[in-house]
Chains A and B, each alone.
Chain A
Amino acid sequence: MSIVKRRFFAGFMRSQERWLNSMADKGYRLVKTGKLEYTFDECEPGKYRYAVEYVGDKSMEDEEAYKAFLEDMGYTVFYKNINLDFSTAKLVYRPWANKGGRISTTGSTLFKELLIVEKENDGTEFRLHTEKEDRIEYYKRLSHPWYFAVFLCLALMVIYWPMVLPVVLFAGLTALFALPIIIMECRIHKIKKEKELEE
């Protein structure tokens, strides 16, 4: 029997991971993702584990190659959107993506910013990024869009200077968008400290 749940996690990937794992523990395995809907089939409780990864900065080619690689590993991979948007045709420029930014459109990489990866539970924690150097790289990639957002808000503050209302608004947004950067930098700092002890 299938059940459909509606949830929206935006960029909170760890929360999404925890929720999917708790669903699996209750005996529900993910079979389909929509913008908001997650379809589950019944399964043996705890049989599957989930990991969520950001791939929104990859080109369509890279994203598909990575997905194929994970599927070769025996994992099941689902695409998931990071933002909510119900337009049917759209084009987005992503200046923070690798090699000078990318244009993303419906049908290519738009609405496929995340991968949900499923593997059969073997009793160990399911992590895609285990190596310190690789984890630092990944957290850097995660912070790039936020750096861009902060830069944009600061630029808008300068443009609207000295009008009080917009300046206050953009200052607030700057502080808000800086939060994920601080979180990522803290994680990177922690890994770097661990590394120092080893080398």
Chain B
Amino acid sequence: MKDNVKSGALTEVTFFILLSVFTPKHGYAIMQFIEEKTKGRLVLGAGSLYGAINTLTEKGWIEPYGEGGRTKEYKITAEGRQIAEKELARLKELTATAAEIIGGGDPA
């Protein structure tokens, strides 16, 4: 999981995991969320997902949620929310620039 520190760009997987846990989810549900939202284009292996969840927890962007039984749920933190909002703004800017040049959209 290498998110570009300098430009602030997130990897697609990081961004999707952050989005998935706006409502608390356990590992399997995160995996399904990503598969569903990308219509199967992005299929994450369980080992890679486990590593990504641990990295994001260490960074404080997501955290374990509730006491729960054995199945651990995760939820986005305030910091994680900020990061996701920043990424959305960056992507909007990027698509606006792209639309201006390539056309096809009205960049307002």
The number of residues on chain A lying at the interface, defined by a beta carbon within 8 Å of a beta carbon of chain B, is 21
Taking a contact as CB atoms under 8 Å apart, the answer to whether B28 and A72 are in contact is yes
The number of residues on chain B lying at the interface, defined by a beta carbon within 8 Å of a beta carbon of chain A, is 20
Given A66-B50, A69-B50, A72-B70, the answer on whether A130 and B45 have CB atoms closer than 8 Å is yes
Interface string of A133-161 (1 = CB under 8 A from B): 11101100000000000000000000000
Taking a contact as CB atoms under 8 Å apart, the answer to whether B51 and A72 are in contact is no
On chain A, the residues within 8 Å of B28 by CB distance are 72-74
Is A87 an interface position by the 8 A CB rule? no
Taking a contact as CB atoms under 8 Å apart, the answer to whether A73 and B48 are in contact is no
Interface string of A108-126 (1 = CB under 8 A from B): 0000000001000000100
Interface string of B12-37 (1 = CB under 8 A from A): 01000000000000111001000000
Closest beta carbon of chain B to A18's beta carbon, Å: 18
Interchain CA distance A171-B86 in the complex, whole Å = 55
Is A128 an interface position by the 8 A CB rule? yes
Is B90 an interface position by the 8 A CB rule? no
Taking a contact as CB atoms under 8 Å apart, the answer to whether B45 and A127 are in contact is yes
Is A78 an interface position by the 8 A CB rule? no
Closest beta carbon of chain B to A111's beta carbon, Å: 21
Interchain CA distance A68-B46 in the complex, whole Å = 12
Is B92 an interface position by the 8 A CB rule? no
Taking a contact as CB atoms under 8 Å apart, the answer to whether A134 and B1 are in contact is yes
Given A131-B1, A131-B52, the answer on whether A68 and B70 have CB atoms closer than 8 Å is yes
Which interface residue of B11, B47, B51, B70 has the most chain A CB atoms within 10 A?
B47
Instruction: State the A residues within 8 Å of B (CB).
Output: 53, 66, 68-70, 72-75, 117, 124, 127-131, 133-135, 137-138
